[in-house]
Amino acid sequence: MRIRHSPDRTADQLTASWAGAAREADTDDALREPAKTGDRDSGGRRGRRKSGRSRRPGKRTGFRRFVSWRKALACVIVLCALVTGAFTVLYFAIDIPRANDLAKAQSNVFLYSDGSRLARTGEINRETVPLDRVPKDVRYAFVAAENKDFYSDSGISLTGTARGIVNTLTGQGTQGGSTITQQYVKNYYLSQEQTATRKLKELVISLKVDRSNSKDDILAGYLNSSYYGRLAYGIQAAARAYYGKEVEDLTVEQGAYLAALLQAPSQYDWAIAAPEAKRRVLQRWGYVLDNMVGEGWLDKTERQRMRFPVPLAPQPGAGLSGQAGYLVDAARRELTASGISEQELAGGGWRITLNIEPDKQRALEQAVRSGDSNSDSGRQAPSGAPAQDPDRQAGAVSVDPRTGRIVALYGGRDYMKHYLSNATRSDYQAGATFEPIAYAAVMGAKRQNQSERGLKQIRQTAADLGIAPDASGFTAPRATELGLMGVSPLEMAGVYASLHHQGKKVTPSIVKSAQRGEERTSLPGAVGGQAIDPGTAERVISDLAFSPIRGIGRRGGVGPEVAGRTNQIVTAASGPTDDRKAEWFIGATPDLVTTVALFGEDAKTTKQVKLRHIGDGHPNRIWSLYTEHALGRQSSAVPEPEYGSGSGDEVADSGQ
């Protein structure tokens, strides 16, 4: 039937009309329903066949038989009451504790793999200052960076804390959404452990601290208890460590950098940050200043005139001279990446054993000193020391491909003089050593019958093998042909170790164990899942192979070497970069994969420069001298490197 609606009808009238229409429609449908065989009753009249029990209209079935909205509501009310009651009990049961033992922080002890001592660190650089010594603009910078609602909130963020607890319980990381008050409570009163219990304590104590302390007191405690890197606790120590000035002399630009630094002190330290990390530093610094503008704490025009304040070069702590500082720095990076916070690690009390083998470490250091000489023959200068080019930096990493253990690492001439580790820096091009990765990508695509063999495929293979996916220079024209992307010796050692481990992902690891008291840290395994097809890895290694019996390897552009007088197969890749600012040699035996790199760096400005004496075989000599001593074999004469453009057949169809 047709139902007419009038705009003047009330809702009840419309409802009644629709209900009536529905009843009439049901009646019409029943009259029109055709008769079905077998639907007659004993009296011959049509009717419904009875099958089992009759079901009353509106009766719930399935899951709805057990749950109704009333029951669900009652469950929610009971649950809320239980949570509220439990939190109330916790609130009255947990008192604000004494300050934690951070002020009496112990040293960290770093040991070689055999248990002998490498270094002891832990001297705490701390000076507490009252809030009135901190410029107001600098205070606002920290609030803008961490907690814009600090002056109006209750001291906690329920959503952030809940997210942090869930992440902790599910193992999805340790980031939460803590307020400044919560961070102050964690730093000053509690430990840095990432547990649900500690999170709940942090929540309760933060509420009490916010009620009993003024916002200025909380902010002062936060600024003085936070860890800023460079072993600096508190904003006064940070002002001296990064800008060589007292806290009251900090500019708003400098304060914004220190505020940005708290998110990841070791990664955001400008002196050692990789190119991508520096981009993140600038983004974070700009985010802080933009938030200040948004909150009305900074003039927009003034903000536009600001430029990033580059901090001073760091002054490493005592006891870290020579290679010790580079080894300790690599261990710290690995531990923080595994989930230990920098503040917790700096708090001390750790006994950290490295995979570094003392004999191999000494062999690598000696090989660099002897092999990195301006003399083609490696003869020593009259003074008794090799004549090293001051504008040339060496970096090297040696890895056991079977386990992923870093057995030796060379970061530079002296950590006290060159803070940035040449073993982990990734600001120089890969050059010809990247070609096997491109080759593996193309071969892998062929084995899987994939038609796409372009830059995307090569980037994915590189990332699978351990190259940072955001490496600089990856999108440049002819990037994969010329190796224009930035990589570190550590990354390249992992790539070649993965190729030698049947294509399984090898992430080189320097930390053997880390223990504090009875607490032992669980570290991820160095050998992971399959990165590339085993057949592809075998093909690439075979193509790089050199045997004293067979003679030189097949591929052009690769200078193979022999590790002593042995018939074992050696694989190698070498060559200068396209910009001639770096020169590489990566050589491998079944026992060791060793990356050696020389970088051109101006001794005064630290800017990248072209290498002098490039192609004279310095990286090759370093590798050969080290491998001879590390494997305990007597070395034969080292042939000069052979550089070439390569056949190019393997990457001709790579899409570039």
- Give the percent of the chain with pLDDT over 90: 44
pLDDT at position 368 over 90:
yes
Please return the burial class of 11, using the count of CB atoms within 10 Å of its CB with bins 0-12, 13-18 and 19+. exposed
pLDDT at position 414 over 60:
yes
pLDDT at position 404 over 50:
yes
> Which is higher by pLDDT, 378 or 186?
186
In the predicted model, what is the mean pLDDT of residues 483-495? 95
> Which is higher by pLDDT, 63 or 18?
63
In the predicted model, what is the mean pLDDT of residues 290-296? 96
Give the closest residue to 269 by CA, choosing from 355, 196, 337, 333. Answer: 333
pLDDT at position 401 over 80:
yes
Residue 565 has a pLDDT of: 39
pLDDT at position 105 over 80:
no
Residue 397 has a pLDDT of: 98
| 230 contacts 314 by C-beta, under 8 angstroms | yes
pTM over 0.85: no
> Which is higher by pLDDT, 651 or 200?
200
Q: Which of 114-123, 132-141, 256-265 has the lowest mean pLDDT?
A: 114-123
pLDDT at position 482 over 50:
yes
Backbone φ, ψ for residue 542 (5° rounding): -60, -35
Q: Which pLDDT band, with edges at 50, 70 and 90, does 522 fall under?
A: confident
Residue 374 has a pLDDT of: 57
In the predicted model, what is the mean pLDDT of residues 605-619? 90
Tokens of 3: 């139902």
pLDDT at position 619 over 90:
yes
pLDDT at position 101 over 60:
no
In the predicted model, what is the mean pLDDT of residues 64-69? 59
In the predicted model, what is the mean pLDDT of residues 532-543? 92
Residue 633 has a pLDDT of: 54
pLDDT at position 548 over 60:
no
pLDDT at position 290 over 70:
yes
> DSSP labels for 470-524?
T-TTTTSTTHHHHT-SEE-HHHHHHHHHHHHTTTEEE--B-EEEEEETTEE----
Q: Which pLDDT band, with edges at 50, 70 and 90, does 166 fall under?
A: low
Residue 93 has a pLDDT of: 47
Per-residue model confidence as pLDDT tens digits over 176-226: 458 998 888 888 776 555 556 667 777 778 888 888 889 999 999 999 989
Among 134-148, 177-191, 313-327, top mean pLDDT goes to 134-148
Q: Which pLDDT band, with edges at 50, 70 and 90, does 556 fall under?
A: very low
Residues 6+ apart with CB under 8 A from 147: 153, 179, 180, 181
pLDDT averaged over the chain?
Answer: 78
Q: Which pLDDT band, with edges at 50, 70 and 90, does 228 fall under?
A: very high
d(CA 429, CA 584): 10
Q: Three-state DSSP class for 255?
A: helix
Tokens of 11: 């809702």
Residue 136 has a pLDDT of: 96
